[in-house]
């Protein structure tokens, strides 16, 4: 099965420990039950029970400790395995995923540093059940690292005092270490150091969100820091901040996948068993179409996220393609998640508001993911930097298969300077498209070629390149092309049914046309550009047999296959 079904979890794992972690996690949540999860959510209960489970089974220690820092033979930072855990915990609730996500962010500067003493302490804290935090954002500046006001003032003999305030810092109430970004007073030099919430100079002001998570606002008042607590300094600290986000943002796509999958089961169960006007709700043609579109979007989300993990795991200083694919997952998979939930909500209507449903949480939480670790527009602005090389200057790379090996992904913590994005090359995207003789894939290819001609002959001028609103529309189309490439690569590895691929691209052709209309309507678009936009608008290739096959054997077939234990 493509989608996660905790009641039939029969996935392949490369080792028994990984399987044990996933099955135990599923068992924990199914035993806890939906009613208890919802009660905790409504009462904003800190998830001590969950963290105790993580501690007892050393789950974060196993999944988030690079092998060289652990005596456990099963411990490693394995992106593929972490994807599985991402999906499972988000399936049961975003709160459980969030404490994991900010722990990953907090560990990023630690594992990327050369401070071996802190690394050993972090490994020990993980083994003891510790969680971590990433002290980057500030109230007035968000994640604008250049404007950070947290300062380290030198006091001589390797001693400093830290002063400043951080905001939006998940786990800031209990983190074993808070990786805190600052500038050194008098020099403007960047630095990361670790802080501890137990010290009296660490003031925990409040939780800035009304949720189970503790999203901290904390202040450091002459907080003592020594050289032994500094992780990294100078430009390397700036690159560490950006590289940590590069790794962490990818996980947000998996959170969307987990949430949407659970919500889909709940929605199809409700609609397929509900009779209105003498018909099951799922017999209405528009409902069938909405469920089919939502299913296709969800499957594509998962295929793209899976394929991107392969590029992360094989990355090197000479192959940084993941720096495009990660923000595509962050921006596109999460925004597709919003589309999935909105479509399902249009079907189940008032049911989506009921306090006893998982959907009530999903409808609220799915909105957060495109807006964390850099908003959609920030990630599109990043993505368009790769566009010229992607289309017009491909490189040669060995073909990458499915990477499920039991190894630590060490390069993620040795990425080097976060610069030179415009020089990164990619393999020729056309290769994978040419392998599929499928109607809607062919239509999509034709749209791509028109877009490529747009870029080559109606090239945006200097003013348009400065117009973020114009670039957003341009970036949406480019992102869709990359999304299609990654989706097809994974579909080939999974040997996905041709009808399902065709139906997914039925949706993507319509999306391409919609984005072309948006670009056409921009105030600065020229007559020549508008003409190309009109040529991008295409009708999907319809096939009644294909559509009924996907509806009957993929979508409606999910009815009553999963419901969470009460």
Task: Tell me the pLDDT tens digit for each residue of 346-395.
Answer: 999 999 999 999 999 999 999 999 988 667 777 888 899 999 999 999 99
- Report the alpha-carbon distance of residue 253 to residue 67 in Å, rounded: 26
For residue 123, pLDDT over 70 is answered with yes
Assign residue 132 a region (left: φ > 0; alpha: ψ between -120 and 50; beta: otherwise): beta
For residue 1, pLDDT over 80 is answered with no
Position 141 scores a pLDDT of: 87
Instruction: Tell me the CA distances in angstroms from 366 to 38, 131, 290, 292, one per residue in order.
Output: 16, 24, 18, 20
Range of the domain at 200: 134-233
Residue 25: give its domain's CATH number: 1.10.540.10
399 within domain boundaries: no
552 within domain boundaries: yes
409 within domain boundaries: no
- The total number of structural domains in the chain stands at 3
Position 374 scores a pLDDT of: 67
Residues 267 and 314 in one domain: yes
Residues 324 and 467 in one domain: yes
Q: Which residue has the tokens 């589309």?
A: 339
Residues 167 and 111 in one domain: no
Residues 153 and 60 in one domain: no
Position 380 scores a pLDDT of: 84
Average pLDDT in the 125-134 region?
Answer: 98
8 A C-beta contact, residue 214 and residue 173: yes
For residue 251, pLDDT over 80 is answered with yes
Residues 180 and 196 in one domain: yes
Position 320 scores a pLDDT of: 96
Residues 256 and 126 in one domain: no
Instruction: Tell me the CA distances in angstroms from 82 to 129, 305, 437, one per residue in order.
Output: 17, 12, 34
C-alpha Rg value of the chain to the nearest Å:
24
Task: Tell me the pLDDT tens digit for each residue of 168-181.
Answer: 999 999 999 999 99
Q: In the chain, what is the straight-line distance between the N-terminal and C-terminal CA atoms, in Å?
A: 24
For residue 554, pLDDT over 90 is answered with yes
* Domain-ending residue, one of 233, 266, 298: 233
Position 143 scores a pLDDT of: 82
- Report the alpha-carbon distance of residue 388 to residue 423 in Å, rounded: 10
Position 335 scores a pLDDT of: 96
95 within domain boundaries: yes
Average pLDDT in the 139-166 region?
Answer: 94
* Domain-ending residue, one of 185, 209, 233: 233
Residues 460 and 545 in one domain: yes
Average pLDDT in the 297-313 region?
Answer: 98
* Domain-ending residue, one of 209, 233, 257: 233
Residues 152 and 29 in one domain: no
21 within domain boundaries: yes
Position 327 scores a pLDDT of: 92
Position 372 scores a pLDDT of: 82
Residue 413 is given by DSSP the state G
Q: Pick the closest to residue 509 from 431, 454, 428, 439 (CA basis).
A: 439
For residue 213, pLDDT over 70 is answered with yes
**Mean pLDDT across the chain:** 96
pTM summary value: 0.97
Average pLDDT in the 90-107 region?
Answer: 98
400 within domain boundaries: no
Residues 116 and 197 in one domain: no
Over 511-553, what HEC string results?
HHHHHHHHHHCCCCCCHHHHHHHHHHCCCCCCCHHHHHHHHHH
Residue 343: give its domain's CATH number: 1.20.140.10
- Report the alpha-carbon distance of residue 386 to residue 381 in Å, rounded: 10
Task: Tell me the pLDDT tens digit for each residue of 416-471.
Answer: 888 888 899 999 999 999 999 999 999 999 999 999 999 999 999 999 988 989 99
Residues 151 and 119 in one domain: no
228 within domain boundaries: yes
Helix (H, G, I), strand (E, B) or coil at 288: helix
């Amino acid at each position: 099965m493509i989608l996660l079904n905790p009641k039939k979890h029969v996935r392949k794992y490369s080792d028994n420990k990984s399987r044990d972690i996933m099955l135990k996690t599923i068992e924990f949540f199914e035993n806890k039950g939906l009613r208890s999860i919802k009660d905790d959510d409504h009462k904003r209960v800190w998830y001590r029970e969950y963290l105790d489970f993580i501690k007892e089974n050393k789950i974060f220690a196993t999944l988030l400790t690079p092998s060289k820092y652990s005596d456990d033979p099963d411990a490693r930072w394995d992106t593929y395995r972490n994807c599985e855990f991402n999906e499972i915990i988000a399936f049961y609730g975003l709160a459980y995923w969030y404490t994991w996500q900010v722990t990953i962010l907090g560990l990023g500067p630690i594992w990327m540093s050369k401070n071996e003493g802190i690394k050993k302490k972090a490994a020990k804290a993980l083994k003891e059940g510790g969680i971590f935090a990433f002290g980057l954002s500030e109230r007035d500046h968000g994640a604008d690292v250049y404007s950070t006001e947290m300062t380290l003032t030198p006091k001589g003999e390797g001693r400093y005092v830290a002063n400043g305030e951080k905001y939006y810092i998940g786990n800031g109430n209990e983190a074993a270490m808070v990786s805190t970004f600052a500038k050194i007073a008098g020099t403007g030099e960047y630095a990361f150091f670790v802080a501890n919430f137990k010290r009296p100079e660490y003031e925990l002001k409040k939780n800035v969100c009304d949720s189970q998570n503790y999203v901290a606002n904390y202040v450091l008042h002459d907080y003592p820091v020594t050289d032994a607590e500094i992780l990294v300094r100078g430009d390397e600290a700036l690159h560490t901040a950006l590289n940590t986000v590069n790794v962490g943002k990818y996980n947000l796509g998996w959170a969307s996948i987990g949430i949407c999958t659970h919500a889909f089961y709940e929605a199809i169960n409700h609609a397929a068993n509900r009779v209105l006007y003498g018909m099951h709700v799922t017999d209405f043609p528009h409902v069938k179409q909405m469920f089919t579109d939502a299913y296709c979007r969800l499957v594509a989300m998962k295929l793209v996220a899976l394929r991107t993990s392969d590029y992360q795991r094989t990355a090197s200083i000479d192959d940084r393609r993941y720096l495009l694919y990660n923000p595509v997952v962050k921006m596109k998979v999460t925004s597709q998640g919003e589309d999935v939930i909105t479509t399902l909500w249009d079907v189940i209507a008032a049911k989506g508001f009921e306090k006893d449903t998982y959907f009530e949480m999903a409808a609220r939480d799915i909105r957060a993911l495109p807006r964390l670790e850099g908003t959609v527009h920030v990630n599109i602005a990043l993505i368009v930097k790769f566009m010229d090389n992607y289309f017009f200057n491909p490189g040669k790379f060995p073909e990458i298969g499915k990477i499920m090996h039991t190894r630590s992904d060490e390069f993620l913590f040795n990425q080097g300077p976060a610069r030179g994005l415009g020089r990164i090359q990619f393999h020729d995207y056309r290769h994978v498209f040419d392998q599929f003789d499928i109607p809607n894939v062919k239509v999509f290819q034709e749209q791509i070629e028109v877009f490529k001609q747009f870029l080559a002959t109606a090239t945006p001028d200097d003013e348009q390149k400065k117009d973020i609103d114009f670039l957003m529309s341009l970036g949406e189309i480019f992102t869709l092309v990359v999304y299609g490439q990654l989706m097809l690569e994974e579909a080939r590895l999974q040997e996905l049914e041709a009808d399902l691929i065709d139906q997914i691209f039925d949706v993507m052709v319509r999306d391409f046309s919609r984005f072309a209309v948006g670009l056409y309507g921009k105030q600065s678009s020229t007559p020549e550009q508008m003409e190309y936009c009109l040529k991008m608008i295409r009708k999907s290739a319809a096939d009644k047999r294909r559509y009924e096959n996907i509806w009957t054997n993929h979508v409606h077939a999910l009815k009553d296959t999963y419901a969470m234990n009460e």
